[in-house]
Amino acid sequence: MKKLRTLLSAAVCIAALAATPFSGSAADSEKIYGTMNIPYAEFYKAEIDDAYTVDAVSSATTKGKWGMNGEGEIVEGTYNNGNGTILGVKFPVEVSSADVDALKGKYDFSPLDSKPTAYKEVALSGDSLSVSKLVDTNGEQTIEGSATVSTNSYYGDYQIKVAGYPENTVLYGVIINTKENDHYAMRHLENIWRSGSYAWSAGIKTVEYHGNHVKYENYASSMGKTVTSVTFITLDGYTTVNVGEQYLPIRFAGEVKAEDASAGTGKTALSLTGFPEDYKKVISADEGLTATETEVSYTNAKPGKYNVNVNDESGKYAPMTAQFLLTTNDIPVKFADGKLTAADGFTADDAANFIKNLATVDINGTSYKATGSKGIKLFKEDGSIDLDATVSDAEVFENSGTYTVTLNSTGYNAPYSFEVNNEAATATTTTKASTTAAKTTSSSSNSPKTGVNGMALPLALLTFAGATAFALRKKND
């Protein structure tokens, strides 16, 4: 009988074990490791001592960046509601085996094969989710880095760029830490961006570049604080980068406004409004311009975009900047003999300035940006058209025939148009480059009547001259 009872007890134990969820990743039969969706509020709660609730992020960007959460994509590691809102991150957790089924249904829990390096302890009490501070089995890493602060950002009132942040890894959380012992949680897209850059609104600029309204209430207290470190949460645990002392100048609802005017020699109105009484104004402008509180004057200024800067001598308040255009109706370039050169009556500097300020290039009605790493590179160094030019790996002059090219340059009131003939689009790239003939028609703008006659210089010389003129003209980037 005793032997029978022993066998029955063993059978009951085996049945109980078989009925208990088990994973090879479990530290013991009660703890299971996996990944699950953790809302921002719960993810950050223990990290910043319940300072505030971290909201989800809504994004109306047309490219749907909020949904790009696959491996290597811009918001990798996040999860969303499928309709434009990032809700939080999918992160490793340690849970009780009793909570696994509920977490699968509500938080997309998925078991792991082994214990992760860093994880959060998660428990359920009814519908209430409890999430711990990060458990970092490696121990927090602290490194010395640096940072720069900008108050002129597309995405808010402050943007900090950190050198020394963890690269080639997914950032699940970023926390800005201040000398005053404040901590600010960053969220993907609205706050966390690429290349170590993080931005937020403190209540002055509340609509970002794409037109989205950004959250600012929990960041308003950051004005006037000093950032000393930034903490990053990755799958390897904590990495805190010390950045020295980076002051966040106080933002305010002021404005600096300069009116557009004609290039050459003249002046334009400048107005400064909404400045605090104790703002000690130091006013400056780009090289060759003189600015007071009421006007900007200039001599022989070329067409283009210019800046006026107002700084607080004490450093307490944020600097303010105004941009304005100096414009002309003249077109200082022409396309002749297959090359873009200085138009009759204009100097090489005049033509180079037009080229330097190219904003867009329209080809048969399709518009291409002419600036930045992704902009079209239309001209070769000698000024001839590059018929092998590509944009996003697509050939611009794919087919044979005549193409209408229109150049739109900042500061020039009228575009300049000409035609180019691609006669060998069906041949190989080498053949096309060597056999293509280009021809032009009249410009859509009238030729100018002033300047130096007979100028027709290659693009390389024009570009050099323009760069020299630009360096002399600009004092601020």
DSSP state letters, 117-177: SEEEEEEEETTEEEEPSPEETT--EEEE-EEEEES-BTTBSEEEEEESPPPSS---EEEEE
Low-confidence ranges of the chain (pLDDT < 70): 1-29, 50-51, 59-63, 424-477
Q: How far apart are the first and last CA of the chain?
A: 93
Classify strands 110-111 and 31-39 as parallel, antiparallel or unpaired.
antiparallel
What's the pTM? 0.77
How confident is the model at residue 469, as a pLDDT?
A: 44
Q: What is the pLDDT of residue 277?
A: 97
Is 74 among the domain residues? yes
352/314 same-domain check? no
287 and 409 assigned to the same domain: no
CATH code assigned at 216 = 2.60.40
Task: Answer with the one of 327, 353, 378 that is the final residue of a domain.
Answer: 327
Query: Do residues 358 and 380 both lie within one domain?
Result: yes
> Is residue 223 within 8 Å of 202, Cβ to Cβ?
yes
Same domain, 160 and 96: no
Same domain, 338 and 463: yes
- pLDDT of res. 126: 87
Residue 278: CATH number of its domain: 2.60.40.10
Strand partners, 416: 407
> Do 317 and 340 belong to one domain?
no
Domain coverage including residue 299: 255-327
Are 179 and 100 part of one and the same domain?
no
Residues 351 and 462 reside in one and the same domain: yes
Task: Render pLDDT for 117-148 as a digit per residue (tens, 0 to 9).
Answer: 999 999 999 889 999 999 999 999 999 999 99
Question: What's residue 64's pLDDT?
Answer: 79
Same structural domain for residues 238 and 338? no
Token pair for residue 342? 């200085």
**Could you tell me if 340 and 466 lie in one domain?**
yes
Residues 155 and 206 in one domain: yes
Residue type, 376: I
**4 inside domain:** no
Does residue 240 sit in helix, strand or coil?
strand
What is the domain-level CATH number for residue 100? 3.30.1490.200
pLDDT of 51 reads 58
Give the model's pLDDT for residue 470: 45
pLDDT of 54 reads 84
**What confidence score (pLDDT) does residue 456 get?**
42
Domain boundary (136, 170, 199) is at 136
Total domains in the fold of the chain: 4
pLDDT of residue 252: 97
Same domain for 436 and 397? yes
Which among 101, 120, 136 is the end of a domain? 136
Radius of gyration of the chain (CA): 31
